[in-house]
Amino acid sequence: PDEVVTLLKAAKIRNVRIYDADQSVLKAFSGTGLEIVVGLPNGNLRDVSADGDHAMSWVQDNVLAYLPDTCIRGIAIGNEVLGGSDQFSGFLLGAVKNVYNAVNKLKLSDVVQITTAHSQAVFANSFPPSSCVFRDNVVQYMKPLLEFFSQIGSPFCLNAYPFLAYMDDPEHIDINYALFLPTVGANDPKTKLHYDNLLDAQIDAAYAALEDAGFKKMEVIVTETGWASHGDENESAATVDNARTYNYNLRKRLAKMKGTPLRPKNVVKAYVFALFNENLKPGPTSERNFGLFKPDGSISYDIGFPGLKSSSADSLLLSLKV
């Protein structure tokens, strides 16, 4: 973790999300000024939902104990809980409320924001963006959750992947549209808005679903987006070139500090998935190759972030020269 801090500082990356509340990571971030969002894993939702004292203990042990030296700015309650199997759906709102109550009692609610990230599986349809609504089997959980988030001022967190959308339908989606490259784009016949990239359309689809559900003022933040640099034979879009193009152009898009066609005043904010390739992750090869960096701290490809070290080929050459 302390080497990761060095890498983040060199790359001038200031905001990071992790999927648990790992002690060694939180200690390494102490005194660095780097801002971190910790996660309450899905497996903890049942216990935290059932017992306010359990929620309080978790917040005290994993958040309060590290403040203010470690800048913990948020707690993500579960990840992509709704829209898949309903294994944890019934525990999400209770866990959110209990954690928020604990944070509030500890007088941390101005410092630590409570959220949960959703996959696009919560939507019934997302094209054109204006037609997007929440799926029928999700609404019963989503509506009360949004009510509560609306009361406490939390945003809607979306994991948005043009990569996955393109892989799902390469016949109808232009890869340039997915990669922020010049293209004819797409029009929304209802709103008459024009989209020149797929990520903006995915974000506006979320805004349309929120508006349909009665939450027009809620902000959407992209909590994961990225592109795989390597994949299986049937994942031809997962290449180093495409990953470099997507994430480089994403950086340029975010640097413009502008909104989407439907919400021009809401500046697009996004976290890139992921910092590192993950060699132990199950599933197709692409799942293990979303990292901007390799595990040794060298870059996977160049989008302007320096790595901790040059690639292994370079260092081998160097050691031979030495």
31 CA to centre of own chain: 25
Long-range contact list for 33-36, CB < 8 A, 24+ apart?
33/71, 34/5, 34/8, 34/9, 34/71, 35/71, 35/73, 36/70, 36/71, 36/72, 36/73
| Candidate list 224, 233, 278, 287, residue with the active-site label | 224
Residue 219 a catalytic site member: no
Provide the residue count of the chain: 322
Strand duo 156-159 + 220-225: pairing: parallel
Question: What's the CA gap between 221 and 17, in Å, rounded?
Answer: 13
Q: List C-alpha distances in Å: 204 to 123, 193, 210, 222.
A: 12, 10, 10, 11
Instruction: Name every residue whose Cβ is closer than 8 Å to that of residue 236 and which is 6 or more positions away in sequence.
Output: none
- The 3-state DSSP class for residue 142 equals helix
Amino acid, single-letter form, for residue 102:
A
Identified catalytic residue from 80, 147, 219, 235: 80
End-to-end, the C-alpha distance of the chain in Å comes to 30
Is the separation of the CB atoms in 61 and 102 below 8 Å? no
Residue type, 183: T
* 3 is a catalytic site residue: no
What would you measure as the largest C-alpha separation in the chain, in angstroms?
66
Kindly report the number of other CB atoms within 10 A of residue 125's CB atom: 12
Strands 35-40 and 123-125: unpaired
Catalytically active residues are 80, 224
